[in-house]
Chain A
Amino acid sequence: MLYDFAIIGAGVTGAAISRELSKYKVNVVVIEKLSDIATETTKANSGIVHAGYDAPAGSWKAKMNVKSNPLFDQVCNDLYIPFKRIGSFVVALAGQGTGYIEELYQNGVERGIPVEIIKDLAAIKKLEPNISNETEAVLHAPTAGVISPFLLAIAMAESANINGVEFHFNSPVQNIENMGKFFIVDTPSRSFQAKAIVNAAGLYADEVSKMAGDETFKITPRKGEYLLLDKMGDFVRKVLFPVPTKKSKGILVSPTIDGNIFLGPNARDQDSKLDTSTTLSGLDEVIEGGRKLIPNVPLGDSITNFAGLRAVSDTNDFIIGESTKVPRLFQAAGIQSPGLSSCLGIADELVDIIKASPNLSGTEIKLKENFHASREKPVIFHDLSWSERDALIKQDKTFGHIICRCETVTEGEIVQAIKRPIGARTVDGVKFRTRVGMGRCQGGFCTPRVIKLLARELNVDEEEIVKREPSTRYFFGETKDFRKENAPIMNGRPIQQ
């Protein structure tokens, strides 16, 4: 089969582009290295839809963020993605001066973004009671919002899939052959033929681009560590930014869309594209930074810590457009902050570029008449009223079995998450679609039950269920196996007492 487009990478960028392309009468395949949607950078970031005043004027970052921000309401509405415009503060503390936020204010005004500077501490404290008393002034941007980055990616991918886009997981691209009129993309299990390639490969976008014949940019991973705290009502109400550094927007304190609070990220460049470990010094750095904004942030309620890697290009900007070296190689690379905020704008822009490309004049790119903009609304038991819950359980009693007691998630929702298009096949797949395991017990109670459900629904043995990648199995045999004749071997020797 000759696809019109092969999108490499199923993070939020790839998912957004795939949905945009699925509006047209073209054949699209998404090729993803790992086991699910949104498994790398997309699942480990701040989850913020930025207002758009931050990036340098004229940059792709600025253009795309500004274009993208207003598009979120429609998409989130159509696809039932939780999204809230809680607003953001850039906080200038005593001694830092207000010069920086005044610059950002100007950017906001020029770009048509609603912004205001508040200098009265009492007024600031009314909006954000626990903010540091050292606050001199804040830049307030009411259109900034919080969203779940992986739910966004999963919802858009599902929508693309409903509209005909194919998804292939566990398919790392090993080689790209340029055959003139089309490309051959090799993965371990299959090769794909496509007229055009969309490179949304995140941390590996430079490697994919090089495989296709364009070596003009390099990606450096930049680690950002996070500390996630429990739900604390409205202890923190807005996304709080400090005055930034050269490398990043700085260490934030922010609520998440689910009501948790996080501190982070720091910014440390590294060579490895795989090292997502957190460090003692990194977490200390994040705590110190967070305390500057919210001095009495309750660290005792820490739920987890994690790290994500930003894909920073050596141009320090997004790389959006058709490669000048390789016709019909379309780049959506170097997607660091504000990548999440810009994904809808990037998708729009890139598809416009694709439609206008002289190298694709032979291919018809016409809009479908029957594009399904929406998807089946996921049941979120936690948000239902008592009578809605009752009616739901009477219809399907699996909604009466609570599996995740910390986040109140039912068996019915988990089964839905497994059965939906591009459904969950791993414990993390269930976790990121339903929030099971994200609460204060971090999966201690629900994990055994989720494993059982996955095994039942996928019709496999419990021993085959993994956390995310194929090497993340849970079990090493049944209790009693180790003492029998066929005891498992480890490191070439049978397990010994």
Chain B
Amino acid sequence: MIQKETDVVIIGGGPAGLAAAVEANSAGCKVMIVERDDGLGGILQQCIHPGFGLHEFKEELAGPEYAQRYIDMLGKTKIEVMKGTMVLDMTPKKEIFAINENGVVKIAAKAIVLAMGCRERTRGAIKIPGFRPTGVYTAGTAQRFVNIEGFMPGTRYVILGSGDIGMIMARRLTWEGAKVEAVVEIMPYPSGLIRNKVQCLDDFGIPLYLSHTVVRVHGKDRVTGITIAKVDENWKMVPGTEIFFSCDTLLLSVGLIPENEVSKKAGVKLGKTNGPEVNQFLQTNVDGIFASGNVLQVHDLVDNVAIEAKKAGKMAALAVKGMKIPSVNAGDAVPLVAGNGIGYVLPTKINTIVDDALVKETGTVKISLRVKKPANDINLKVKNGSTEIYKKFYKHMRPSEMIIFELDPVVLNGIDKKLPLEVYIEPKEQKEVAKK
């Protein structure tokens, strides 16, 4: 067995892992990235479309380009990278067990940053009935076939799910000469960015069927067609609304799930996002284990992943240096509750007793959330008991766009720590609207 020891281990060499590694390294720690693939960059390597780094680098880069920026940064450091190495187990004492072609690797870490990303929701998870032929893939798998392996998995497609991955694949496949018959979305609104709807669907005349879903897959051995139908508010099929498409492939873009199998092995507790419960320092319930990126919450902008990951990297470095990072289980931690209209909110809890030195390093408390439904002209509010401690007006809020705002630690000092913090939305008062 290969035994290794280091300060900070980053599990995953995608955008979150790379950013966390660079930050922990510049804070003066020995850093090791453990990546199961043969190269760094994670999912970015197959996301060949631009849309990455607009905020961070002020340029619209393709996924692999963005990854290359960080890989180049890495090259200038002494960060150790173990590629082709898959972490299979992790203990609460921060011992990591991985394997690669040289054998079993045991790594003793002083701090760990989880950056394993997420997996795609499958057909089985949403229970589409019908046959089980070849030709049903998640959009990411199809993207890998087309962009990396170099093969076309079909000639004629129906795509379920109008999230960004689905819409981007609609364009990609059309550009490679295939025909996309329809994009089908169960919600009454598109899941992804309007920009993608315009540039990936409207540009090509690909119809978007809202409030519809796939009700049957046809073809015993190979997909021969897909039947979709309208659904009511309870997602139940409306009889008589079936539409049949002749096609040979169904792509699914129906959600991403943080991949936390390894986290669970170390006793990390998961929360509403299917990612770890964390405090404002991104520390999980296991001291010294931090989380960032899609493994914590599914992001839509890689630039936000980098910000979050850098924070986690920095916190891990501070922990290694001996600074006390409060535990999310500590008695002073106040829970954040998702109130009206809010799907989830992070961090899970906010510690209120924090050393000044740490407050200096971290500044404001960052809150991230997603709303349940699109809404216009709303106030986002935070209240503690019945006391409102934060309010911000938003003209538009959509579930597909993560909302991030900051709370002043001074404000947090004055709250009643026995009461939770509730984050909620409510329509802006009419008289205020009239004033505008």
Contacts and interface: CB of A to CB of B under 8 A. Distances in A.
Direct contact of A and B (CB under 8 A): yes
Nearest to A44: B132
A365 interface: no
Interface string B126-158: 010111111001101100111111111111100
Nearest to A388: B104
Contact of B222 (A279, A400, A442, A473): A473
B174 interface: yes
Nearest to A452: B149
Nearest to B125: A302
A466 B179 CA distance: 23
Nearest to B129: A278
A25 interface: no
B88 interface: yes
Given A402-B86, A440-B122, A277 B1 contact: no
A219 to B, nearest CB: 19
Interface stretch (B93-101, B314-322, B363-371, B420-428): B93-101
Contacts of B137: 444, 447
A355 B151 CA distance: 54
Contacts of A375: none
B178 interface: yes
B131 A277 contact: yes
Nearest to B204: A497
Contacts of A324: none
A408 B129 contact: no
Given A302-B127, A390-B1, A479-B150, A444 B138 contact: yes
Interface residues of B, number: 58
Contacts of B174: 497
A47 B103 CA distance: 35
B355 to A, nearest CB: 39
B248 to A, nearest CB: 8
A387 B261 CA distance: 22
Interface stretch (A135-143, A148-156, A487-495): A487-495
A462 B145 CA distance: 11
B120 interface: yes
A439 to B, nearest CB: 10
Given A386-B1, A441-B119, A475-B152, A280 B134 contact: no
B412 interface: no
Interface stretch (A177-185, A244-252, A303-311, A315-323): A303-311
A448 interface: yes
A488 B145 CA distance: 18
A471 B141 contact: no
A477 interface: yes
A275 B86 CA distance: 40
Nearest to A447: B141
A468 interface: yes
Given A277-B130, A405-B36, A474-B134, A389 B120 contact: no
Contacts of A490: 155-156
Contacts of B122: 303-304, 440-442, 444
A126 interface: no
Contact of B131 (A276, A280, A302, A463): A276
B215 interface: yes
A228 B176 CA distance: 36
B102 interface: yes
Given A400-B84, A400-B102, A497-B177, 15 more contacts: A278-B130, A302-B127, A386-B1, A400-B100, A400-B101, A402-B86, A405-B86, A408-B88, A442-B124, A448-B149, A467-B133, A467-B221, A475-B145, A481-B152, A495-B177
Interface of A: 227-228, 274-280, 282-283, 300, 302-306, 386-387, 389-390, 393-394, 397-398, 400-402, 405-406, 408, 440-445, 447-448, 451-452, 462-463, 466-469, 471-483, 487-488, 490, 495-497
